[in-house]
Structure 1
Amino acid sequence: MPARKLPQVVIIGRPNVGKSTLFNRLIGKRLALVDDQPGVTRDRRMGEAGLLGLEFEAVDTAGWEDEDDASLPGRMRVQTQVSLKGADAALFVIDSRAGLTPLDEEIGRWLREQEVPVVLVANKAEGNAGESGILESYSLGLGDPVPVSAEHGEGVADLYSALVPLIADKAEQLELEAEQAKAIAADELAARAEAAAAAGEEFELEEHDPKAPLSLAIVGRPNAGKSTLINRLLDEDRLLTGPEAGITRDSIAVDWEWDDPKTGQTRIIKLIDTAGMRKRAKVVEKLEKLSVSDGLRAVDYAEVVVLLLDATRGLEVQDLKIASRVIEEGRALMVAINKWDVADDPSALFNGIRSALEEGLSQLRGVPLFAVSAKTGKGLDTMLGAAFKLRDDWSRRVPTSALNRWFDDALGANPPPAPGGRRIKLRYITQVGTRPPRFVIFGSRLFDLPNSYERYLLNGIRKQLGFGAVPVRLSLKSPKNPYDDNQGGGGKFSGPKS
């Protein structure tokens, strides 16, 4: 795992005491799903938190339940216990209105046996209703409770006072290390600029740093093996898995260092697990709707998205809908067929899925397709290497000279049509953005330009300029005055097309 930049504070407690509400309060946004029913959180979730200037990494955990380790609640508890390893402090949250329960006492006993310092947080303490519960909590032997109301933001100053002695030194140490790393990076940049000047070359900052961490989201239908695949990559049981469908609810991001076997480089990847996405008609419960919305937001912020298929079920209509959503959002898409180790007639399956993708995703041909196995690890390094290449294509800017040469050659090889004897004039092209690549063509009489010619230009950009299977946006713009026939008689905006 990459070195942590902030001290880590884990939030622990039984179900429905307000852990996720407190987590959201600390990080300043509604990142964790919150609902009245208990057991909403299942995997631990991390976020950068701030408390009156004190910065740390907050970790939300599943509600602690006294169940067999093999059951789903038991596996959730084990995940919570593992989360405390390496943490700098823990916030033990109780419901002051409900008072102490036997489960609170069990958690308290376990925490007293750990080496991590604990702050006892008495949540839901607004008004006077929580006073008896606060007094009861002294019996836990974890020091003075800190009364707070996570929902209303009360008690923040007291929580700050309790946390500062535990993590302030660690925060200062990590901040110093971060400043040293920035200084080293600045020195390296200055050295590159100096070397370019000595060689008589122009030095420009790269718009895209190919060494930057890759944000990689894994999406798909329930039970496709998304969490299992991420656990395989991490080589640890970081995410909750099991035979039950729909275990994952929140979108969980995990930073990970991957050693590329081809180059020997160590690359940082932010792996994002998402909830399974069923057909919209089947999603009726509020919590599942929130989970799917959370997964879609994760897609919006990812760079590359892996659509994971189940080899035992093949490609279904819902998979194509998910893929289309990814493309519409302008993310770089790749498809992986999981459970390849148990696939029947693998060759026919692979070719069949390839053909179905070409037919079902006509807006983007040639989406990368991989056969993988989360169980054995087959194909995962190949998939990750291709993900970095796809991100590079998605982030690339074409030099102006190369773009103009391609444009002139494309027009010369296949001139625009001349409906009614009046030729459509395409004057020039420019790239206006990346991630995804976006191009604008300026000209006149663009309302008359057939869609087939736009596809011709779009396909040329992909094939001849090396963008391959990344979504490309192409827009057409006319002169400012659309009513002046002398300027070209109108305008057309055809984007975004991909």
Structure 2
Amino acid sequence: MTFSLAIVGRPNVGKSTLFNRLVGRRLALVDDQPGVTRDLREGEGKLGDLRFTVIDTAGLEEATDDSLQGRMRRLTERAVDMADVCLFMIDARVGVTPTDEVFAEILRKRSKHVILAANKAEGAAADAGVLEAYGLGLGEPLRLSAEHGEGMPELYSVLMPLSDGFAERAAEEAPETEVELSEEDGDDIDTALPEITDKKPLQIAVVGRPNAGKSTLINKILGEDRLLTGPEAGITRDAISVRLDWDGTPMRIFDTAGMRKRAKIQEKLEKLSVSDGLRAVKFAEVVVVLLDAAIPFEQQDLRIADLAEREGRAVVVAVNKWDVEEHKQEKLRDLKEAFDRLLPQLRGAPLVTVSAKTGRGLDRLNAAILKAWEIWNRRVSTGQLNRWLEGMVSSHPPPAPQGKRIKLRYMTQAKTRPPGFVVMCSHPDKMPDSYTRYLVNGLREAFDMPGTPIRLYMRGQGDRNPYKGRREKNAGALKKHLGKRKG
């Protein structure tokens, strides 16, 4: 899914019919009566070899108050703002109406890519309406018949070059993870962190249950009400990214739809929203798991944090609505105890208390995010690792399953983002999980890596030993050097 396409237009111009055709099934209700679609609906669109997210929207109404029509209009405008491409549909048989002209003006201002489509354009009766569409100033209209499938090749030819551009953008925005390190680095490793720039900002996903305050938090960080908020749970329906400079650090923050328990996800749209949140985690380097202070660490919170750890992302836990918490010290102690007990794989991850409403704690959250990112990128030299490993084995030797002693030969760091280490040993398949956990916990403590996912791989002694080879090579070079001096 390289881009999103929002279908917009007046009520009853055929938006849902086109949506159903692009997703290949009847997800959206279709009826001759206008106004059947009231909410946004997402689906996986297919057109030839193109794959994209297609969004069916409510018919654009001219109401701007808090009536149902006014709220529907605001939701549709939000889809316009967030979609990569807008397909503006008019009814070719009716022709261009004053309402069409109003919304064409809105789209010119709010959307970077607008495709004008004259629907119901089969037959000569639609010719006059197609000609009128040129007057909207949105380029040449596509003649479509969503009901009969006419005009799909022409739509493909317009979308294909846009898709290529969005595919390049997605490749640029994808974070670099599981970065391979050279085993020849030894003690002379480069410990400099990757540079955070406007082109490669630090990428953060804010995830959590519905109504935890994710959009409110991001609005407070931005200093403006960019994202729709309210007391109702589930206002945010798709993952939205915003760019900002937060205290001098370029960042891209993904606001995600609240992730509910699977049993409560009934609407197709909400299922898609959850999958969008999962995609946001994959696009992030640091994941902020936002909890509600009143009901922290429910099962779904634990699943979200565990998902981020399994994806290998740095994790920061933020407890929101702290301004209304009465027994702060006692609550904080209980939270830390519960976190270490329920998520031992993220032991030591930063836990920050914030108030998205007042902005208190945002400076601590910023510092925790940067610290978590720095640890996620940490590199440890081979010499340090092997001196540490020797001490760990002396203190607590590995077990001897079936009388066979497991010997740990040497250790090196193979990856960063997150840190990944390889231990060369005999009988790696017999190494118990408890001893691996002992080593991982020791790594966290010895090299100051709290909270970040750590990958530890056991390899058989038959594998090449670059540490030993490097030592022999250095010894040979020293002997040759001394021989020259003696000569």
**TM-score for both structures, normalised by structure 2:** 0.69
1:423 paired with 2:405, answer yes
CA contact (8 A) 1:314 1:349 kept: no
Cα 1:145–1:378 shift into 2, 3 Å: same
Check 1:432–1:126 CA distance in 2 against 1; reply closer, same or farther (3 A cut): farther
Q: Distance in 2 between matches of 1:419 and 1:115?
A: 71
Give the counterpart of 2:122 among 115, 128, 134.
128
CA deviation after TM superposition for structure 1 residue 400, in Å: 2.2
Gaps in structure 2 of 5+ consecutive residues: 30-36, 43-52, 163-187, 464-487
Moved more, 429-438 or 267-276: 429-438
- Provide the residue aligned with 1:226 in structure 2: 214
Amino acid at match of 1:209: E
The answer to whether the 8 Å contact 2:346/2:450 transfers is no
Kindly indicate whether residue 56 of structure 2 is the aligned counterpart of residue 74 of structure 1.
Answer: no
1:346 is matched with 328
Which segment is superposed worse, 147-156 or 416-425? 147-156
CA distance in 1 between partners of 2:444 and 2:191 (Å): 25
What is the aligned partner in structure 1 of residue 307 from structure 2? 325
Compared with structure 1, are the counterparts of its residues 430 and 14 closer, same or farther at alpha carbon in structure 2 (3 Å cutoff)?
farther
Pairing partner for 1:138 from 132, 147, 154: 132
Task: Give the SS at the match of 1:270.
Answer: strand
Q: Could you tell me how far apart the structure 2 residues matched to 1:352 and 1:474 are?
A: 30
Q: 1:245 to 1:460 in 2, by over 3 A?
A: same
Correspondence for 2:379 among 397, 402, 406:
397
Q: What amino acid maps onto 2:102 in structure 1?
A: R
Match of residue 394, structure 2, among 412, 417, 435: 412
In 1, Cα distance between the equivalents of 2:429 and 2:86?
A: 62
- Cα distance change, pair 432–117 in 1 and its aligned pair in 2 (3 A): closer
1:443–1:479 Cα contact (<8 Å) kept: yes
Q: 3-state DSSP class of the match of 1:208?
A: coil
Question: Partners in 2 of 1:72 and 1:253 — Cα distance?
Answer: 27
Structure 2 residue 255 is matched with structure 1 residue 255: no
Report how far residue 140 of structure 1 moved: 8.6
Question: SS of 1:254's equivalent?
Answer: strand
Give the alignment partner of residue 235 of structure 1, picking from 223, 232, 244.
223
Change (3 A) 1:127 1:327: same
CA 1:367 to 1:267, structure 2 compared with 1: closer, same or farther past 3 Å? same
Structure 1: runs of 5 or more not aligned:
1-8, 44-57, 164-201, 261-265, 482-498
Give the SS at the match of 1:209: coil
Cα pair distance change 1:388/1:142, threshold 3 Å: same
Residue 306 in structure 1 maps to residue 288 in structure 2: yes
SS in 2 for 1:470: coil
CA distance in 1, matches of 2:316, 2:69: 34
Q: 1:58-207, aligned counterparts within 5 Å?
A: 63=58, 64-70=60-66, 74=70, 77-78=73-74, 93-96=88-91, 99=94, 105-109=98-102, 111-112=104-105, 116=109, 121-123=115-117, 125=119, 128=122, 132=126, 135=129, 138=132, 141-143=135-137, 145-147=140-142, 152-155=152-155
Q: Is the 8 A contact 2:120 2:126 kept in 1?
A: no
Partner of 2:194: 208
Q: Distance in 1 between matches of 2:378 and 2:446?
A: 14
Q: What does residue range 289-300 of structure 1 map to in structure 2 within 5 Å?
A: 289-300=271-282
How far residue 40 of structure 1 moved from its aligned partner, in angstroms, is: 5.1
Letter in 1 for 2:70: G
Deviation at 1:128, TM superposition (A): 2.0
Identity rate, percent: 43
Structure 2 CA distance for aligned equivalents of residues 340 and 90 of structure 1: 39
SS in 2 for 1:222: coil
1:138-189, Cα deviation, whole Å (9 max, x unpaired): 179424641166993524667999x9xxxxxxxxxxxxxxxxxxxxxxxxxx
How far does residue 36 in structure 1 lie from its aligned partner after superposition? 2.4
Aligned residues: 401
Distance 2:261 2:225 in 1: 29
Match of 1:36 in 2: 28
CA RMSD of aligned residues (A): 4.3
Most deviating of 69-78 and 401-410: 69-78
Deviation at 1:242, TM superposition (A): 1.5
Amino acid at match of 1:208: P
Q: d(CA) in 1 for partners of 2:221 and 2:64? A: 27
Deviations 1:194-222 (A, max 9, x none): xxxxxxxx996957335541111011111
Give, in angstroms, the shift of residue 472 of structure 1.
0.4
Q: Residues 59 and 233 of structure 1: is their aligned pair in 2 closer, same or farther, counting only changes over 3 Å?
A: farther
Q: For residues 117 and 369 of structure 1, what CA distance do their matches in structure 2 show?
A: 38
CA distance in 1, matches of 2:93, 2:333: 59
- Residues 436-486 of structure 1 show CA distances to partners (whole Å, capped at 9, x for unaligned) of 1111211112344333222111111111122111010111122459xxxxx
Q: 1:441 and 1:203 mapped to 2: Cα distance?
A: 18
Per-residue CA deviations over 1:304-353 (Å, capped at 9, x if unaligned) read 11111112333322211221122122111111111122223232322222
Task: Please name the residue that 1:49 is paired with.
Answer: none
* Contact kept in structure 1, 2:201 and 2:251, CA below 8 Å: yes
When residues 99 and 321 of structure 1 are mapped into structure 2, their CA distance, relative to the original with a 3 A threshold, is farther
Please say if residues 130 and 141 of structure 2, whose CA atoms lie closer than 8 Å, have aligned partners that are also in contact. no
Contact 1:246 1:276 in 2 (8 A): yes
C-alpha distance 323-159 of structure 1, shift in aligned 2 (>3 A): closer
Amino acid of the structure 2 residue aligned with 1:337: V
Contact 1:248 1:275 in 2 (8 A): yes
What is the distance in 1 between the residues matched to 2:266 and 2:402?
A: 54
What is the identity, as a one-letter code, of the residue corresponding to 1:255? Answer: R
Residue of structure 2 in register with 1:315 after alignment: 297
CA distance in 2, matches of 1:90, 1:422: 63
The one-letter amino acid paired with 2:384 is A
Letter in 1 for 2:387: R
Residues 126/396 of structure 1: CA separation in 2 closer, same or farther (3 Å cut):
farther
Helix, strand or coil: the match of 2:251? strand
Distance in 1 between residues matched to 2:107 and 2:345, nearest whole Å: 55
2:460 maps to what in 1? 478
